[in-house]
């Protein structure tokens, strides 16, 4: 069954064609270069970019897949959470295609699409239950997944998402936007001799919730009081590398520790990880190291399926459709859509 997926929840405009878990095409273009000078995504700019590029991306995705709209059996679209104006573009296109070409329509929750995105890659065994860890710019959450689409929320961030903390720390250090890739690269230049003890927030012994606002503030104060020492001078490249390294280690340790705790509390030894922060090589290393001691294995999506993409939306939409999910032309953009 061929599914056409559409994703426009934030700054990526993406259309994909999938057949089950096989990705025939996954076209992605991003307005990220337009947001850089503002240090974060500007919703109006993101929406306008989607309007401008969605048709081109749609045509390219169909062409790359070697299929035509006639061959498509289902239209799947992200309907939340995300920026309302951005979501509306993808939903409008999906509804138009569904109506004009008489194809069924299914709305997909963006967080769930990240959660199950590891299944687009080969080698993920059907070993349910899994603990699922979603780490993106907007979300940080742990789930117990008993099957695809059968998940229970175990815990989530009480303030900032982990990707958001990467973005804010990069902003404090004047490293630009988005923060994740530049912090990972800068951290590699640290000698690791000067590990700054930034706080790791665990919110209680058995808590599976997260908090990343404290560490972000700790970095802010460190830069203001210790690094600048009141002079306002630019900090050295070596110190910036140490700050990135120490922040990254602390933030990622909490993710790994909590995911392992969730496994122990729920008697499983398999984790699926998804979302933009799942690209991070140090996170992958840490799960690998932790796995050697605990026997717990973490499965990651290929890097191209970590950031926002329509392949994960198409593929999950098909699974939902087969379970009986249906949407219609009343499908609404839901900026705060929760996982059910
Ligand atoms: O999943 P995503 O594309 O968008 C949301 O749904 O939020 O994730 C974007 C987030 C940004 O916060 C970005 O800084 C982070 O993923 N990110 C990274 C890396 N690459 C992107 N975080 C850590 N390390 C990276 N290499
Ligand atoms: Zn996302």
Residue 228 pLDDT more than 80? no
What atom in ligand 1 is closest to the CA of residue 308? 3
From CA 140, how far away is CA 262, in angstroms rounded? 14
Residue 312, number of CB atoms within 10 A of its CB: 33
Give the residue, by CA position, lying nearest to ligand 1 atom 19.
Answer: 180
180 lines ligand 1 (CB under 6 A): yes
Q: Which two tokens stand for residue 115?
A: 């959660």
The DSSP secondary-structure symbol of 227 reads: I
What's the 4 CA to ligand 1 centre distance in angstroms? Answer: 24
Tens of pLDDT, residues 61-70: 999 999 999 9
Tell me whether domains 2-115+305-322 and 126-300 share a fold. yes
Give me the residue spans of the domains in the chain: 2-115+305-322, 126-300
pLDDT tens profile 241-254: 999 999 999 999 99
Q: How many CB atoms lie within 10 A of CB 230?
A: 7
Ligand 1 touching residue 149 (CB < 6 A): no
Q: Is the CB of 129 under 6 A from ligand 1?
A: no
DSSP states of 48-81: HHHHHHHHHHHHHHHHHHT--GGG--EEEEEEES
Rounded to whole angstroms, the Cα distance separating 4 from 67 reads: 10
CB 170 within 8 Å of CB 177: yes
User: How far, CA to CA in Å, does 316 sit from each of 31, 63, 102, 301?
Assistant: 25, 22, 20, 14
Atom of ligand 1 nearest to the CA of 110: 6
Going from the Cα of 137 to the center of ligand 1, the distance in angstroms, rounded, reads 5
Mean pLDDT of the chain: 96
Ligand 2 centroid to residue 128 C-alpha, Å: 23
Q: Ligand 2 mean position to 81 CA, how many Å?
A: 9
Quote the DSSP letter at residue 120.
G
Percent of the chain with pLDDT over 70: 99
d(CA 174, CA 63): 41
pLDDT at 272 over 90: yes
The span from the CA of 114 to the CA of 76, in Å, is 15
pLDDT digits (tens, 9 = 90+) for 299-335: 999 999 999 999 999 999 999 999 999 999 999 999 9
| Ligand 1 atom closest to the CA of 163, numbered from 1 | 12
Residue 10 clears pLDDT 70, i.e. is over it:
yes
Give alpha helix (H) positions in the chain. 32-35, 43-65, 84-101, 110-115, 162-172, 179-187, 213-221, 237-265, 281-294, 311-322
Tell me the per-residue pLDDT of 208-218, one tens digit each, with 9 for 90 and over. Answer: 999 999 999 99
User: Is domain 2-115+305-322 annotated with CATH 3.30.420.40?
Assistant: yes
Q: Name the residue with the closest Cα to ligand 1, atom 2.
A: 276
Closest-CA residue, ligand 1 atom 3, reads 307
Backbone angles phi, psi at 278, to 5 degrees: -65, -10
Nearest alpha carbon, ligand 1 atom 25: 180
Tokens 């299914």 map to which residue? 106
Tokens of 46: 């993101």
Domain 126-300 class in CATH? alpha beta
Report helix, strand or coil for 308: coil
């Amino acid at each position: 069954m061929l599914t056409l997926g559409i994703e426009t929840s934030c700054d990526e405009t993406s259309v994909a064609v999938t057949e089950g878990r096989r990705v025939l095409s996954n076209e992605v273009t991003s307005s990220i270069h337009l947001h850089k000078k503002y240090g974060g995504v500007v919703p109006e700019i993101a929406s306008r970019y989607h309007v401008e590029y969605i048709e081109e991306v749609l045509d390219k995705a169909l062409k790359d897949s070697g299929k035509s709209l006639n061959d498509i059996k289902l239209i799947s679209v992200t309907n939340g959470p995300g920026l309302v104006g951005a979501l509306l573009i993808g939903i409008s296109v999906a509804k138009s295609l569904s109506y004009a070409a008489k194809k069924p329509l299914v709305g997909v929750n963006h967080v769930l699409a990240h959660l199950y995105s590891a299944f687009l890659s080969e080698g993920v065994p059907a070993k349910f239950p899994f603990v699922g860890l979603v780490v993106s710019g907007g979300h940080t959450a742990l789930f117990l997944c008993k099957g695809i689409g059968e998940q229970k929320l175990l815990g989530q961030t009480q303030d900032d998402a982990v990707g958001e903390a990467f973005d804010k720390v990069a902003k404090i250090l004047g490293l630009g936007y988005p923060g994740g890739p530049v912090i990972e690269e800068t951290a590699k230049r640290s000698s690791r001799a000067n590990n700054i003890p930034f706080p790791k927030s665990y919110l209680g012994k058995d808590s599976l919730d997260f908090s990343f606002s404290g560490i972000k503030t700790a970095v802010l104060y460190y830069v203001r009081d210790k690094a600048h020492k009141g002079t306002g001078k630019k900090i050295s490249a070596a110190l910036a590398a140490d700050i990135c390294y120490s922040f990254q280690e602390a933030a990622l340790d909490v993710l790994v520790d909590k995911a392992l705790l969730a496994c122990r509390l729920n008697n499983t030894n398999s984790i699926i990880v998804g979302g933009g922060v799942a690209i991070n090589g140090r996170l992958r290393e840490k799960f690998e190291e932790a796995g050697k001691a605990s026997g717990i294995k973490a499965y990651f999506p290929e890097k191209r399926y970590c950031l926002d993409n329509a392949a994960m939306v198409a593929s999950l939409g098909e699974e939902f459709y087969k379970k009986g999910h249906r949407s219609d032309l009343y499908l609404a953009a839901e900026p705060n859509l929760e996982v059910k």
